Structure 1
Amino acid sequence: MSRRVVRQSKFRHVFGQAAKADQAYEDIRVSKVTWDSSFCAVNPKFLAIIVEAGGGGAFIVLPLAKVWQIPDYTPMRNITEPIITLEGHSKRVGILCWHPTARNVLLSAGSDNVIIIWNVGTGEVLLSLDDMHPDIIHSVCWNSNGSLLATTCKDKTLRIIDPRKGQVVAERARPHEGARPLRAVFTADGKLLSTGFSRMSERQLALWDPERFAAHEGMRPMRAIFTRQGHIFTTGFTRMSQRELGLWDPNNFEEPVALQEMDTSNGVLLPFYDPDSSIIYLCGKGDSSIRYFEITDEPPFVHYLNTFSSKEPQRGMGFMPKRGLDVSKCEIARFYKLHERKCEPIVMTVPRKSDLFQDDLYPDTPGPEPALEADEWLSGQDAEPVLISLRDGYVPPKHRELRVTKPNILDVRPPSGPRRSQSAQDSPLSQQHTLERLLEEIKALREQVQAQDQRITALENMLCELVDGTD
């Protein structure tokens, strides 16, 4: 008689629990825009939700620390003046993503099929990737050090892009055969997790090794022939222009490392990946459940853990960074589920009897401090995130204000180092942005000259009156 072996994992008994009613945020009109977005962002201090409003573009920001003693007077105000305005997209922007290690570097993508990378500290366009996606961009994700991007597009292609070189370094056409939108996120070791639909409209989760997408990563021509055994023998170049040979199995040339098929619901699966635990959480738009899987180096690589289910469907979902969790309760994930009129926290916990800090659950995790400045990243430097320990809990800093410094375009000198890529320096979008800044500078100088002219005229009149009085 054979005995079934149960896989050992500290996350095998992770369970989810919805917060009590008094911990939910009531009377919130969540946006009804038909964009497959999470509509929610969260950090250890604040919760931001896209809400329904005339004209669109409205959001609310709520503090997570609740104080129940209501003062006699509570000042409330709407924020109508932004710190800085970033203008460059020609159509609606649906994706915003901060760089994981560089200060003030923000990525935006929209319905104009363009990705723009900004320095929000100066308002400058650092890079514009405007010729890589022939259709609407569905998702964009940075890798752990911010050197690469993974994008999915309406053309059903999964791309890996080096934004500073302006190159697609690897791509996979139709990683999922279905017609609904794809999503993709990088794992901690550089692989890719994608969600999509099969040809029969079954929802899928796939794990990909990008090294299988391209036989050779160099820019020079490749050659390929079949061997007698049916394998493919290739010659090409590495990314560093070294010549290399390759032997490939055509039956495994572009297949996923692992593939999980789930159900036939039509809701797009939003993936939330935790690199500390290697757990991927899947939240379907319109679903009432959260599925979670553990990613390992052992076959079958993607291991189903459990499903959290509730009664009401979700309109969107926010995912708390690891530093915002309660380590004293062995909390390893927290979601903020958007209903039609409220937001409900959902906590994922590993059951432990000990009250001591659980080192295996909480390795050092990325903190809020950047590892690079924006110009350092743009020049080609990379750095891993600055890690912090959660042993004593995390206390958010009280004041972290964005300081905006708009450079004077008249003081700019030609760069002495190597030229940036064509898309970064000579793109029409960048030229338009520079022209607008020049026009603003000219307008300001003209106003100063007019003011000085008026002052000179007034002084001359006073002088004439004094001279006439003496005569």
Structure 2
Amino acid sequence: MPPSIPLSRRNVPRDQAITVANSWLDLTSIQDPRRVSKFRHLKGTPAHKSFHIENIRNLSRQISGECDGFHANPERVAVPLSGPGGKIAIFELSKTGRLPDGVIPALVHGNNIMDFAWDPFDNHRLAVACDDGIIKLWKIPESGLNEPTNEAENEFNAHPDKIYFIKFHPTAKDVLASGSYDMTIKIWDLATLTEKIVLKGHTDQMFSFAWSPCGVFCSTVSKDGKIRIYKPRANDAPTREGKGPVGSRGARIIWALDGNFIVVMGFDKVSERQIMVFKSTDLNNPLNTVGLDVSPAILIPFYDEDSSTLFLTGKGDSTIYAFEITEESPYICPLSHHRCNNLHQGLSFLPKNVCDVSNVEFAKALRLTNNTIEPLSFTVPRIKTELFQDDLFPPTRVMWKSSLTSAEWFNGKDKAPPRISLKPDGMDLRKFSFRIFK
């Protein structure tokens, strides 16, 4: 006999009580055979205007298609500005409100910016790649950037040609990958500013690069329509190749489900934006392909591994699409999409430890519009929000602290990040009781 919900649900009809039990308790013994996501009805909520940064001016529209164009960390954001000199403005999230008129303090590079990224383990460090092949490392003062500066903490000649992308390693400190028009990917030890590994095998433009969650592998998707997986410390050639999107307008690639799957966002022959999911051990046969819409904007992804939720949006879009990536068919399950009141120029998600789990917030982002930066919260509706929703918040990987030094990683060591509970002190766990229908 199926269990029921006692007390407050006692007068609810039996069929409805079972539905409630399915929805809230996720009990496998009484689940509908059709899979229903716990995150299906996720809700996006913009923060109050008092938390916005306003009067942002002169946003650059000329950033390379391989660059996401906007990056945030828990303390500050980096925004490219238009005009000569390759400028990136740095805004402190603690200093909300209207920016004063006049010159916006910025990092001045002297050359066009190709890509930039925050160090995941240091909220004060920004890496920037320029079209002259130079990578600059900037140290942002504790109080923020108060005036324009062209003096980087360090810089080095990374490539003889323009750089497509730079990506920090997910678990090892001071490890950075850079891909260039010279068709190589170089992996750098920033502790010594030395080139350690050079990956080869590309014959055409690289659209996107992603480290696997464990940091052992990396993957790319390119204009030649191929997906490549590397094991960089073992071989400079791809260990696996497969066929990706056929369109040549651009693409993105990410890993999902503990690195067992790869998801690629691209275009088909008629410019429809598509999502393709592959088993990482078989890149020749997509498990599913979902068409989204016709748009020139490349879909930029963010993947929350705890909920297996994939968020997607493009520059100039007003909708943030959400899907759950699953290990079984159909592999790509649509969730509630969030529609914004106006267009955005970028979206950047923050680490899991900044989420307000007491309000069932499982993802938090910053949204860049034409003249504002706005926090955006993603929550899941629950009845008893005063209780810790342990089914929505499993122990999360500590991705904001490094597990290894660069020397350890280049010497072949691997170490998985620890997992911690996000339950706030003093917050009770959910408790349920059952009775048997008679």
Give the TM interval when normalised to the shorter protein.
Answer: 0.7 to 0.9
Match among 21, 37, 42 for residue 14 of structure 1: 42
Give the superposition deviation at 1:91. 2.8
Give the superposition deviation at 1:381. 1.9
Match among 389, 413, 436 for residue 421 of structure 2: 389
Match among 215, 223, 228 for residue 146 of structure 1: 215
Match among 175, 195, 217 for residue 125 of structure 1: 195
Match among 167, 173, 176 for residue 245 of structure 2: 176
Give the superposition deviation at 1:293. 0.5
Matched, 1:65 2:134: no
Structure 2 CA distance for partners of 1:5 and 1:380, relative to 1, 3 Å:
closer
Native 8 Å contact 1:197 1:204 kept in 2: yes
**By percentage of residues, which structure has more strand?**
2
Q: Whole-Å Cα distance in 2 between the matches of residues 79 and 121 of structure 1? A: 23
Aligned ranges 1:333-372 → 2 under 5 Å: 333-352=363-382, 353-367=384-398, 368-372=400-404
Q: Whole-Å Cα distance in 2 between the matches of residues 306 and 6 of structure 1? A: 18
Structure 2 CA distance for partners of 1:178 and 1:67, relative to 1, 3 Å:
closer
Q: Whole-Å Cα distance in 1 between the matches of residues 361 and 246 of structure 2? A: 36
Query: Equivalent residue for 1:255?
Result: 285
Give the superposition deviation at 1:161. 1.1
Give the superposition deviation at 1:34. 4.2
Match among 339, 347, 353 for residue 309 of structure 1: 339
Query: Equivalent residue for 1:100?
Result: 170
SS in structure 2 opposite 1:337?
Answer: strand
SS in structure 2 opposite 1:323?
Answer: helix
Query: Equivalent residue for 1:26?
Result: 54
Native 8 Å contact 1:107 1:117 kept in 2: yes
Aligned ranges 1:166-315 → 2 under 5 Å: 166-173=236-243, 175-190=244-259, 191-213=261-283, 254-315=284-345
Counterpart of 2:340, as a letter, is S
Structure 2 CA distance for partners of 1:74 and 1:311, relative to 1, 3 Å:
closer
SS in structure 2 opposite 1:263?
Answer: strand
Query: Equivalent residue for 1:375?
Result: 407
Give the superposition deviation at 1:351. 1.6
Query: Equivalent residue for 2:154?
Result: 84
SS in structure 2 opposite 1:348?
Answer: strand
Q: Whole-Å Cα distance in 1 between the matches of residues 309 and 96 of structure 2? A: 33
Structure 2 CA distance for partners of 1:74 and 1:187, relative to 1, 3 Å:
closer
Runs of at least 4 residues off by over 3 Å: 4-7, 77-80
Greater shift, 307-316 or 136-145, is seen at 307-316
Structure 2 CA distance for partners of 1:78 and 1:387, relative to 1, 3 Å:
farther
Native 8 Å contact 1:30 1:338 kept in 2: no
Native 8 Å contact 1:43 1:324 kept in 2: no
Give the superposition deviation at 1:5. 7.2
Give the superposition deviation at 1:74. 10
SS in structure 1 opposite 2:281?
Answer: helix
Counterpart of 2:211, as a letter, is W
Give the superposition deviation at 1:360. 2.0
Structure 2 CA distance for partners of 1:106 and 1:343, relative to 1, 3 Å:
same
Q: Whole-Å Cα distance in 1 between the matches of residues 308 and 223 of structure 2? A: 28
Counterpart of 1:255, as a letter, is N
SS in structure 2 opposite 1:31?
Answer: coil
Query: Equivalent residue for 1:49?
Result: 79
Deviation readout 1:184-214 (Å, 9 max, x if unpaired): 101133210001112232211111013223x
Give the superposition deviation at 1:270. 0.8
Native 8 Å contact 2:358 2:385 kept in 1: no
Q: Whole-Å Cα distance in 2 between the matches of residues 125 and 355 of structure 1? A: 51
Counterpart of 1:258, as a letter, is N
Unaligned runs of 5+ in 2: 1-31, 100-142, 426-438
Query: Equivalent residue for 1:327?
Result: 357
Counterpart of 2:174, as a letter, is N
Counterpart of 1:133, as a letter, is H
Unaligned runs of 5+ in 1: 214-253, 394-471
Give the superposition deviation at 1:26. 1.6
Query: Equivalent residue for 1:109?
Result: 179
Native 8 Å contact 1:288 1:312 kept in 2: yes
Give the superposition deviation at 1:60. 2.2
Structure 2 CA distance for partners of 1:66 and 1:379, relative to 1, 3 Å:
same
Structure 2 CA distance for partners of 1:350 and 1:75, relative to 1, 3 Å:
closer
Structure 2 CA distance for partners of 1:74 and 1:207, relative to 1, 3 Å:
closer
Give the superposition deviation at 1:305. 0.5
Deviation readout 1:361-417 (Å, 9 max, x if unpaired): 222223222212212211222222233332238xxxxxxxxxxxxxxxxxxxxxxxx
Query: Equivalent residue for 2:21?
Result: none
Larger Rg: 1
**By percentage of residues, which structure has more helix?**
1
Q: Whole-Å Cα distance in 1 between the matches of residues 246 and 220 of structure 2? A: 17
Native 8 Å contact 1:44 1:323 kept in 2: no
Native 8 Å contact 1:45 1:64 kept in 2: yes
Counterpart of 2:263, as a letter, is L
Native 8 Å contact 1:365 1:388 kept in 2: yes
Aligned ranges 1:426-445 → 2 under 5 Å: none
Q: Whole-Å Cα distance in 2 between the matches of residues 78 and 121 of structure 1? A: 26
Matched, 1:162 2:192: no
Give the superposition deviation at 1:297. 2.1
